[in-house]
Chains A and B, each alone.
Chain A
Amino acid sequence: MNKEISSILKSVSKPGRYSGGEYGQIIKDKNSVKARFAFCFPDTYEIGMSNLGMRILYGVLNEQEDVWCERVYTPWVDMQEKMKEYDLPLTACESGDELREFDMIGFTLQYEMSYTNVLNMLELAKLPLRSSERDDSMPIVIGGGPCAYNPEPVADFFDLFNIGEGEEMLPELCRLYIQMKEEGRYTKEAYLHEAARTITGIYVPSLYDVSYNDDGTIKAYAPKYDDIPTKVTKRIMTDMDRSYFPSKVVMPYIETVHDRIMLEVFRGCIRGCRFCQAGIIYRPVREKSPEVLNDQAKCLFESTGYDEISLTSLSISDYTELEALTEQLLEWTDDNKVSLSLPSLRVDSFTKELMDKIASVRSSSLTFAPEAGTQRLRDVINKNVREEDLMRAVGVAFAAGKNTVKLYFMNGLPTETYEDIKGIATLAEHVIDAYYKCPERNRSQKPQVTISVSCFIPKPFTPFQWEAQDSMETLAEKQEFLRTQITDRKIRYTYHDARVSRVEAVLARGDRRLAAALELACREGFKFDAWDECFDYDRWISVFERCGIDPAFYANRAFGLDEVLPWDIIDCGVTKEFLRRERDKAYAENTTPHCREKCSGCGANKLGGEKTCCPKIAK
């Protein structure tokens, strides 16, 4: 750590975010490596350090001897002020070197509201924001992560995007870079073209021209060369058992969001809730075998000393070998005082047996996500959960002595009526009733049900990708209406700020024309928009206005079913026809069985994959 930064740290909050020096960080000789990669997480240290994807990719890049990958996080507002005062550039954790010195800078795009932080970090790094303004001497700027499935709003700032899983793609990008440098044929232009041409999953936005119709919708995408794909197909790791998984991690000194071992049990989700982007873009489901997982968990325990293992996957109880896995883990975890935690339980899988097994989990409160208040609306969104399932699950929990339950819902879902909203309150009341009906309940305590309601945001690559988001006024009315429906003091009600959800909807479904707004936002100092204390809706509206952008065009307009969508340039494996079919079924209030019950022909099986439940395609 240089002296200058060290002295400044005495005057900022949480200096441990910036002091570095963690056990487990990877230090290499910068003069002997051939490519330096700055892996940027556009949020605070505590959040970034907890991200499993970043842990994996940091490890995978550093596996290559001649590549040195370092970490970078967004300095908090007070630190940024100091950096400005003393004219200090953004630096990487390990070496303390400026980002400009790196060969490649990769950003993981986990949520749309972090876009302003991406630009903020480029600015702190004293790099031009736009790809077109960065020359051959500057680092290549790469984007990846879930938001890269609609990269268009930030397309002008990135040189290239990784679409899909990066474990192979990123090393391939490094290899190509090193090779072209060594052969003396590196120019940024040549590199980008070569990457787009030869590496599956690489999208280079500058190599595609976008034209627009008179009504503002997109007319077409036109590749500038014949030898690059007209649609970029996402990359997946086909065999998760053989896929790289880190055996050690960088150990933070300060407390982070997830201070624990995160075991990725499988990728994807068999369910297909119609609002859920993750459920589509990570298809097909690919499982790991319990033996591999157990070995990885042991290895991580020994290298970290963490006392908790969290099984992180979407809808964890859908893992076909959960029983075998927990059994193998429990053989050694109890003895070593390591506890298991299973987040994201579905109510239909919440059983007494499971609860007994995870009894060592610190008395955390229980969380379920019915998402909608009535069976009708739950059918519309394909959340195959019935009220009986929920009542049975909370019954098990209450009988085991629990008295608090948290329930997640969404307002503004397509076809939602006031009857559905009323249903949210009714459902919460039924949970309270279930508590008093439970003979084994903890009689010394009162039940408490928290209902947390977010706003529906239409997301790319979901059956609801074409839907209009409710106007803010409508959302506010709905939120207020629900408040009037809740009369029991044992029910706590919280809801998301509709204004944030609206900006998120704009950024989620935006196209390249949003670049102007994001650039202006950055110039005006926008940052940490995912944080309530930093988000300012009126300033966003002002920025949109001054750039001639109508937020309603992106958020509150129903996109035409035949319209060219900004993200049509990406092929996530799942076909548009499938999404369309699912949308029709939603309006008909019909559900779709999950992938293990019956394949619905979404198309993702064309990507291949081991330990999936998809029908194999003959090669």
Chain B
Amino acid sequence: MLPENSKINEMARLKKLQKIDPPRNIRLKFRKVGSLQYTSHLDLQRTFNRVIVRACIPVWYTKGFNPHIKLVFSTPLSVGAQSECEYLDIKIDREMSCGEIMERLNHELTEELCITDVYYPIDDFSEIGYAEYDMKIHTVGNSEKMAEDIKKILITSPLMLTKRTKAGDKEIDIIPLIKSIDVRYSSDEDTVNINTVLRASATEFLNPEMLVTALKNSLGILSTDLSKEWYEIVRKEIFKEDMAVFR
């Protein structure tokens, strides 16, 4: 990688290269797990700003009085959820290969927040339709019965939930927002493991946290001791409306 104390020179070198006009879009696929699940969207934005500078990516800056790096993130992820599949689009205005961009960025990142792919975007963020999640619910005892209960409740529409909107609280049925769901009991850790695909388009979006809340409300699970009962959510994949993998 770049030796220390040479990044400023490296930036100067890149600046001398031929400018790409208009700037080129680059898509970064990244992972956000472990400690990073508690990093908010705004904090993540700030972090990427610095990472891109540290990595000497020939990034394009907006014009005007206060030039800044343009970062466009895909589907929002709530604080407390992890992800193997986040997307961020940036623009570069000097030539650099996707492989090099990835290598440079990962040099400035940690295992818990790192780039897993870099490519020229194929699909548009507006084409996103669904997101797949793995959820793990840790409870004390009765997990097997709980898995059964969850299965039952998830096929009985409606499953009503209060959704906070700008126009006030709204009661909605979340069942139509669940594309598929698979609930299993796992004896390894005594957990209920759920794999689900939820609606994730710009207009219809089901936050997996809301699914957990619905289960909490209707089954009374996860209500007591946080040290023994908790859940994890990991976003696994993003799909388009036709269920083709988003690229």
A interface residues, Cβ below 8 angstroms from B: 1, 3-4, 6-11, 15-16, 18-21, 23, 82, 86, 247, 251, 253-255, 259, 298-299, 301-307, 332, 335-337
B119 within 8 A of A: no
Contacts A251-B50, A253-B47, A337-B67 given; does A1 touch B35 at CB 8 Å: yes
A337 in contact with B61 given A19-B39, A23-B110, A302-B8 (CB within 8 Å): yes
Please choose the segment from B51-59, B126-134, B170-178, B179-187 that sits at the chain A interface, where 4 or more of its residues have CB less than 8 A away. B51-59
Q: A253: which B residues are within 8 A, CB to CB?
A: 36, 39, 43-44, 47
Structural contact, A21 and B108, CB atoms closer than 8 A:
no
Q: Which of B83-112 contact A (CB under 8 A)?
A: 108-110, 112
Q: A4-B227, A19-B35, A23-B109 in contact; A255/B43 too (CB < 8 A)?
A: yes
Q: Nearest CB to that of A88 among chain B residues?
A: B227
**Given A1-B34, A302-B4, A302-B5, A11 and B54 touching (CB < 8 A)?**
no
| Docked complex Cα distance between A6 and B230 (Å) | 9
> Could you say which residues of chain B place their CB within 8 Å of the CB of A86?
226-227
The reply to whether the CB of B11 lies closer than 8 angstroms to some CB of chain A is yes
Query: Which residues from chain B contact A21 at a C-beta distance below 8 Å?
Result: 34-36, 110, 112
Bound CA–CA A507/B238 (angstroms): 58
Q: In the complex, what's the smallest C-beta–C-beta distance from A255 to chain B, in angstroms? A: 7
Docked pose: A23 CA to B50 CA in angstroms:
11
Q: What distance in Å separates the Cβ of A24 from its nearest Cβ neighbour in chain B? A: 9
Q: Do the beta carbons of B226 and A11 come within 8 Å of each other? A: yes
Q: Are B8 and A332 in contact (CB under 8 A)?
A: yes
Chain A CB within 8 A of B79 CB = yes
- Give the residue of A23, A255, A298 whose beta carbon is less than 8 angstroms from that of B46: A255
B19 at interface, CB cutoff 8 A: no
Could you say which residues of chain B place their CB within 8 Å of the CB of A1? 34-35
Instruction: Chain B residues near A254: list those with CB within 8 A.
Output: 39-40, 43
Beyond contacts A8-B227, A16-B39, A19-B39: 15 other A-B pairs, Cβ-Cβ < 8 A, are A7-B229, A8-B226, A10-B80, A10-B226, A16-B43, A19-B35, A19-B36, A19-B38, A21-B35, A82-B226, A251-B50, A254-B43, A299-B5, A305-B52, A306-B50
Q: Cα distance A11–B38 when bound, in Å?
A: 11
Distance between B212 CB and nearest chain A CB, rounded to angstroms = 10
A305: contacting residue among B39, B43, B54, B226, CB under 8 A: B54
Contact of A3 among B8, B53, B109, B230 (CB under 8 A): B230
B11 lies within 8 A of A23 (CB): no
Contacts of B40 in A (CB 8 A): 16, 254
| A255-B46, A302-B54, A306-B50 as given contacts; A7 in contact with B230, CB under 8 Å | yes
Q: From A362, which residue of chain B is reached at the shortest CB distance? A: B66
Q: Pick the residue among A7, A23, A336, A337 that contacts B226 (CB under 8 A).
A: A7
Most buried by B among A19, A20, A82: A19
Chain B residue at smallest Cβ distance from A295:
B5
Q: Does any Cβ of A come within 8 Å of B49's Cβ?
A: yes
Q: Is B145 in contact with chain A by the CB < 8 A criterion?
A: no
Contact B47 A336 (CB under 8 A): no
Q: If A7-B230, A86-B226, A298-B8 touch, does A305 touch B80 (CB 8 Å cutoff)?
A: no
Distance between A263 CB and nearest chain B CB, rounded to angstroms: 16
Assess whether B227 is in contact with A15, with CB atoms less than 8 Å apart: no
**B227 and A16: CB pair below 8 A?**
no
State the Cβ distance, A184 to closest chain B Cβ, in Å: 40
Question: Taking the nearest CB of chain B, how far is it from the CB of A39, in angstroms?
Answer: 19
Cβ-defined contact, B108 with A23, below 8 A:
yes
Q: Is the CB of B49 within 8 A of A15?
A: no
Q: Which residues of B contact A19 (CB under 8 A)?
A: 35-39
> B12 at the A/B interface (Cβ < 8 Å)?
yes
**B7 on the A face (CB < 8 A):** yes
Give the complex CA separation of A7 and B37 in angstroms.
11
Residues in chain A near residue B53, CB distance under 8 A? 305, 307, 336
A254 and chain B: residue at smallest CB distance: B43
Instruction: Decide: A9 and B50 in contact? CB cutoff 8 A.
Output: no
Measured between alpha carbons, how far is A82 from B226 in the docked complex, in Å? 9
Closest residue of chain B to A301 (Cβ to Cβ) is B8
CB distance from B105 to the nearest CB of A (A): 11
B79→A305 contact, CB < 8 A:
no
Structural contact, B79 and A15, CB atoms closer than 8 A: yes
- The distance in angstroms between the C-alpha atoms of A302 and B54, with both chains bound, is 6
Q: How far is the CB of A86 from chain B (nearest CB, A)?
A: 5
Measured CA separation A550–B127 after assembly (Å): 71
Beyond A23-B108, A255-B46, is A16–B38 a contact (Cβ under 8 Å)?
yes
CB distance from B145 to the nearest CB of A (A): 22
With A304-B54, A305-B50, A305-B52 given, is the CB distance from A298 to B5 under 8 Å? yes
B43 touches A304 (CB 8 A): no
> Which of B8, B40, B43, B113 is packed against the most chain A CB atoms within 10 Å?
B8
Cβ proximity bits B180-206 to A, threshold 8 Å, 1 near / 0 not? 000000000000000000000000000
Residues of A within 8 A of B79 (CB): 15
The CA-CA distance from A249 to B35 in the complex, in Å, is: 18
A-B residue pairs in contact (CB < 8 Å), sample of 14: A7-B227, A8-B227, A16-B39, A16-B40, A20-B35, A82-B226, A86-B226, A253-B44, A259-B46, A301-B7, A303-B4, A306-B50, A307-B53, A332-B8
Contacts of B36 in A (CB 8 A): 19, 21, 253
Alpha-carbon gap, A3 to B39, bound state (A): 17
CB within 8 A of B51: which of A9, A20, A305, A307?
A305
CA distance A2 to B47 in the complex (A): 24
Query: What is the distance, in angstroms, from A219's C-beta to the closest C-beta of chain B?
Result: 53
CB distance from A67 to the nearest CB of B (A): 23
A305 surroundings in chain B (CB, below 8 A): 49-54, 108
C-alpha gap A259/B50 in the complex (Å): 11
Contact, CB under 8 Å: A15 / B80? yes
Residues of A contacting B37 with CB < 8 Å?
A: 19
